[in-house]
A and B are shown apart, each in its own frame.
Chain A
Amino acid sequence: MLKYIVRRVLTMIPTLLVVIFIVLFLMNLTPGSPALNILGPDATQEMVEELNHKLGYDRPFFVRFVDYVVNLVQGDMGTTYRTNRSVFKEIVTRYPITVRLSILVIVIACCIGIPLGILSAVKQYSFFDTAGTVGALFMACIPAFWLGLMLVLLFSLKLGWLPASGTDHWYSYILPALTQAIPQSARSMRMTRTSMLETIRQDYIKTARSKGQIERKVILKHALKNALLPVVTMVGVDFGFILGGTIVIERVFSINGVGTLILDAIQTKDIPLVTGCAVFFAFFYMLVLLIVDVLYALIDPRIKARYRGQKA
């Protein structure tokens, strides 16, 4: 198992290299130079060239790529073009906000979605199931920005219970988290329902019933653990995705997370900052996927055996 994890961590390195290459390459393809963006349209040609030279932007693409990688290995992610502050610090000060928000979103989504999905599957074709499925479809279709605005309208403006923006208090996170968690919980619910329906048709569920097991335990002890695998996969992938910046809700609720950071960085063509964010996202995404795979092993002994069987 440990061998498996070490090997997975090692495979992250080439993936990160590819990510860096692609980001730098794409930034290189976009028109305009960083200096032009910083100095504005009034700058003279000499001033632009001088700044580009200072930033090292006049060197060939591959040199800059290798340079970036070498610096990264030494723990240096460069400085931002605009503010001249350390990219690493810039991201690290903002990332906890996004991480907190993402965790909250996933926890709320799972707490609502999974139990509802189970209930819906167990009571298939009932009124609850139909209402739940239609409701979930509806929720999954709502755009986050609209839902966010509606929630603000109700809870901040009308009722005045929760702040409409910022991250000053713990309860400031409630509205943005709910905004993202509601469509997310609809996804979890639909996934859990489908997976559960498939599981409760399995023979071992019949075996459990033929033992005289009570229905609640048939579902919770026998079916749930088996049904959870695809749900864990989906939630994991979604979590990784949300970690990569909850851009829309950060905009709607004016939250200073990495979502807003990367958006600004792209607009100003701040290459070190964009690349730094991409490296961070990629790293955390892979980390989450690794955690999901380890969780698999905890849920399913067959997968655990497979991990053990692999030679590093």
Chain B
Amino acid sequence: MDSLLSVRNLVTRYETDSATVEAVNDISFDVLPGETLGLVGETGAGKTTTALSILQLLPERTGVIKSGAICYKGEDLLSKSKEEMRLIRGACISMIFQDPMTALNPVLTIGEQIRESLEIHNYDGLSREQLDERVDELLEMVGIRTSRKYDYPHQFSGGMKQRVVIAISLACNPELIIADEPTTALDVTIQAQVLAMMMDLKNRLKTSMIMITHDLGIVAQTCDKVAIMYAGEIVESGTVRDIYLGEKHHPYTVGLFGSIPDLEKETRRLSPIEGIMPDPRNLPTGCKFHPRCAHCTARCEREAPPVYREGSHEIRCHLFAAEDANGN
């Protein structure tokens, strides 16, 4: 099957007078039609920057896509004009933002905000009534009473607002939705509700999705494939099965899983990954994870690790690369 979205060797930087932030460093991944890709990592790993790069919504003066290719249905998005890109946003690829509290305009009714997407991409020349009907339909889809379309965002709870945001993202039946931590700002109970609804809609509408999250639980529930990001790189990727049940893992992935409490084992303390994410203005040489890695060797400090492949499972680590070399 051809990829719906294919990102190749993407490099994104934030450049200011005082510093250059190396936010995304040479990442590649594919999203197939109907598939959900989980983009996992700590805060500052470059997940959101990746999403904004795809939609070309990076801050105008500072955010620059240095190199790489982003292909949507075989067409390179980076070579498109501003106007062509605008027509893709919302209609083909839409985005759900992290914080529903701030993602909606406080001075417009939610009906107006949902309608807006429809009006921008109204290529079928729908009448006012038909647009209104579609707004009602979308509200019903996300479980909000249609009479509430005249209400303003401040009259809704966080979970309800996120439903509105989801309705906006679904408005034009996009083929790809990028969900940037869609449940992080919500209560746990509401999280489960919203997530279940999103998955249900996604399956019904056969939309592809990039699910950006730092929650491995959400990934297990919702994703087909996973890419684990660290300091702007994908350090490990594969199917959910590879990541959760595979034998070999990048030390960072091991650390991530280690920091989740286990229901069956009795532990007094969680085991976090020691140290902090490196400063993206001044990344370490060699493997970006080496200062925090328990298995660090002299080679890790010098050379960037090659990719170790095992079927769909890819790991960027010297540990396995060495093994691979010996095995061959």
Contacts and interface: CB of A to CB of B under 8 A. Distances in A.
A301 to B, nearest CB: 4
Q: How large is the interface on B (under 10, 10 to 19, 20 to 34, 35 or more residues)?
A: 20 to 34
Contacts of B23: none
Contact of B57 (A202, A204, A206): A206
B228 interface: no
A222 interface: yes
A26 B311 CA distance: 91
Interface string A193-233: 00000000011101111111110000001100110000000
A210 B99 contact: no
B322 interface: no
Contact of A208 (B55, B102, B105, B106): B105
Interface string A37-52: 0000000000000000
Contacts of B171: 211
A212 B89 contact: yes
A210 B165 contact: no
B94 A213 contact: no
A299 interface: yes
B276 interface: no
B177 to A, nearest CB: 11
A251 to B, nearest CB: 42
Nearest to B154: A302
Contacts of A170: none
A203 B94 CA distance: 15
A58 interface: no
B86 A207 contact: no
Contact of A207 (B61, B103, B107, B120): B103
B252 interface: no
B15 to A, nearest CB: 14
Contacts of B304: none
Given A125-B61, A206-B57, A305-B154, A211 B168 contact: yes
A226 B94 contact: no
B107 A300 contact: yes
B182 interface: no
A210 B55 contact: yes
Nearest to B151: A301
B79 interface: no
Contacts of A207: 95, 97, 103-105, 165, 168
Interface string B149-169: 000101100000000010010
Contacts of B120: 211-214
A214 B105 contact: no
B24 interface: no
Contact of A299 (B87, B104, B107, B155): B107
A203 to B, nearest CB: 4
A203 B97 contact: yes
Contact of B95 (A124, A210, A214, A305): A210
B88 interface: yes
Contacts of A300: 106-107
B38 interface: no
Interface in A162-218: 202-204, 206-214
5 contacts: A204-B102, A209-B89, A210-B89, A210-B95, A302-B152
Interface of A: 124-125, 202-204, 206-214, 221-222, 225-226, 299-302, 305
3 cross-chain pairs, A with B, having the tightest CB-CB distances, nearest first: A212-B90, A203-B102, A212-B89
